[in-house]
Amino acid sequence: MIKATLRFGVLLSTLLALTVSLQGQTPFWTEDFAGGIPAGWTNVDASGQGVIFEWCNDPQTNGGDSCPSWFNDAINVQAPFAATTAANGFVSCDSDEYGQLANDHIVRFTTTAIDCSALSEVWVEFQSHIGVFTVSAVTGAVLRVSTDNTVWTTYTPYPDLTTTVRWSGNPEVVVLDISATAAGSATVYLQWEWSGNWEYQWSLDDIGLYEENPTPPNDMQVTNWFAVAPNLFWPLSMVEPFGFLADVVNVGSADQTNVTLNLTLEDEGGNVVFTEDLNYGAIAVDTFAYDVPFLGTYTPTEMGAYTGTYTLTADAVDSNPADNSASFEFLVNDTLFAKETSGFANRPAGSNWDVGEAWSWAYGNYFYVPEAGDNIFKYVFFALEVPVALAGENVTVSIYKWGR
């Protein structure tokens, strides 16, 4: 049986060093939070629990000083907010900081009035990074637009970001057509509303309003859904063939032709041990190409570290090459299986249990052993990054074996 492991996560490594101008149009109104939260903006929690957006002056600050935590553990695999001008300040609502609340917070972050009276079209663009755990971002994290600060129209920035997916891109560039509400009005208010309970964080920066769609014509992406090796650490005696796959999407405003995805696997010396191209042909605007596997497979033959990289190309020069690749790593060794290298501190939200019910939950990994031979199972290692909320709790470790 040929297996591949699908990983949903945000690519770190060199991609975070790249910043690209994503819009082809000039905005008529902008805000990059260089001087803090602008005067006159309102920032409230309608639930009365005091959860609000705060200004962070340094994305490298990992929690504290009004800055969100990175959640750079093995489960979440996140990084500092990478908006274009994040280094000069941005705003973030750190839902995780407030822990389990009695009721869902309802954070509302609202601009002052913006004059759009001379415009027949109004488009909003903003860069963001959001992580959810209890309430889906599809319904919980929305942009609301009003012309009187009383009656609001709701727009959906994250139509696919459920609690299963958890994290947006970093940055996730959101473009929405708000013409139906805003065009021709002298008083337009934008409001970012977040309903949730012990989520992660929602960071915002580089907001712009445009007279026409600012989406660049040529922008293909390798999504965060791609195949990796079945194990992060893998004994050489237990390796088996595994395959490759990555979902891609056309997020530009023009159809793309001759779209090709390359997978290259290198050993720790930089030698190419496997490479293959997968040609999709043409991909239309707002179209995904998903669940298309590469034909070939690879079986490691030597111990050492390996890096796999998916790289996407098309006939047109891409406007944002930073999201045209995704990478994964694995290590072939003598005796150790592992899926990750660090602990985790996630747990289900309190709303999963009835009042008075004992709180317990479990996490697990599985490892496929193709042929054990003379090898025996001897040790198990695990780690928890324990927050204050879990101090004093009991942990039970269970080991199971099953056949097929």
What's the pTM value of the predicted model, to 2 decimals? 0.69
Mean pLDDT over 230-252 rounds to 95
SS3 content of the chain, % helix, strand, coil (to 5): 10, 35, 55
For the cut 90, the answer to whether the pLDDT of residue 300 exceeds it is: yes
Domain regions of the chain by residue span: 23-210, 217-333
Q: Which of 265, 275, 272, 262 is nearest to 314 (CA)?
A: 262
| CA-only gyration radius of the chain, Å | 23
State the residue for tokens 């779209």. Answer: 259
What pLDDT shows up at residue 69? Answer: 92
**33: alpha, beta or left? (left if phi > 0; alpha if psi -120 to 50):** left
Asked if the 23-210 domain carries CATH number 3.40.228.10, the reply is no
Ranges of beta strands (E only) in 63-218 are: 90-93, 105-110, 123-130, 141-146, 153-155, 172-177, 189-196, 202-210
Cα 246 to Cα 325: distance, rounded to the nearest angstrom? 10
CATH of domain 217-333: 2.60.40.2550
Q: How many residues does the chain have?
A: 404
Mean pLDDT over 3-29 rounds to 44
pLDDT tens per residue across span 252-261 = 989 999 999 9
What pLDDT shows up at residue 389? Answer: 63
Under 8 Å between Cβ of 93 and 205? no
For the cut 70, the answer to whether the pLDDT of residue 19 exceeds it is: no
Ranges of beta strands (E only) in 211-357 are: 220-228, 233-235, 246-250, 256-267, 272-283, 288-289, 304-313, 325-333
Domains 23-210 and 217-333 share a fold: no
Cα 341 to Cα 351: distance, rounded to the nearest angstrom? 30
pLDDT averaged over the chain? 89
